[in-house]
Structure 1
């Protein structure tokens, strides 16, 4: 199933909310006004990428140590049926986005997914999320 792992592109994003002090926000606005950044979001993305780049070796070592998959990981009913037929249990570890397809029933998910760790976002039906609630960390 490793062929289901794809790298995320820049357009794939998740919305977050942050609180900033007035002074920091004003300094960001000043940089935008002076033309260093096109808008606040551009500045914040740039700052985040800079920090991620600064810690890239640590991130890579952590991903390797925890045997995490990086990017997008899709699980369809067909994938999980193959796991069940093989008598196996998945221990999913993803940095990015894990998607459990709409055709996956809660019963199939519980029968095949032993644990689920997602650093990023998990997309699954509310029923599947409830069925796996005790296995999601």
Structure 2
């Protein structure tokens, strides 16, 4: 028996992406890092992406409104899905950001209550729930 009690599961607050850059662009980034404008390459890339997204903030906002998508973090608990099932409703998940389906949600409950999933960002769900909903994840 272990005397270590986990305080909480650590959920990542970001998603890793991979990009390929030409040597000249990479050299320019390294130069800016060396000159102290950015702490490292990742800091530069995050800042560049944030700045680019901010130039299109109106378009993103209008698109989210048009598609009635939720922005940010959206958790779906077992209780949420059980309430939907009891009401005879089907959920269509539309999230820009992170959608999380609780770890205690069974594949059967997910299939009974989730009609479709559209996530622009990341979806966190158990492997079993992902497999059960694979044909509903757009």
- Measured in 1, the distance between the counterparts of 2:37 and 2:76 equals 42
Find the counterpart in structure 2 of residue 85 from structure 1.
Answer: 86
- Cα distance in 1 for residues equivalent to 2:34 and 2:115: 51
Matched residue SS, 2:122: strand
Q: 1:39-76: per-residue Cα shift (whole Å, max 9, x none)?
A: 11111111001101100000001100010000111111
Q: Distance in 2 between matches of 1:51 and 1:92?
A: 26
| Structure 1 gap ranges (5+) | 1-10
Shift of 1:122: 0.6
In 1, Cα distance between the equivalents of 2:43 and 2:124? 26
Task: Identify the structure with bigger relative contact order (alpha carbons < 8 Å, sequence gap 6+).
Answer: 1
Provide runs of 4+ in structure 1 moved above 2 Å: none
Corresponding residue SS for 2:51: helix
Q: What's the offset of the Cα at 1:80?
A: 0.3
- Output the CA distance in 1 between the equivalents of 2:81 and 2:92: 12
Provide the aligned C-alpha RMSD in A: 1.0
Match of 2:60, SS state, is helix
Structure 2 gap ranges (5+): 1-11
Matches within 5 A, 1:1-137: 12-137=13-138
How many Å separate the matches in 2 of 1:122 and 1:46? 24
How many angstroms apart in 2 are the aligned matches of 1:90 and 1:107?
Answer: 14
For 1:117, what is the secondary structure of its paired residue? strand
Q: What TM-score, normalized by structure 1, do the two folds share? A: 0.90
What secondary structure is seen at the aligned counterpart in 2 of 1:35?
A: coil
SS in structure 2 of the partner of residue 102 of structure 1? coil
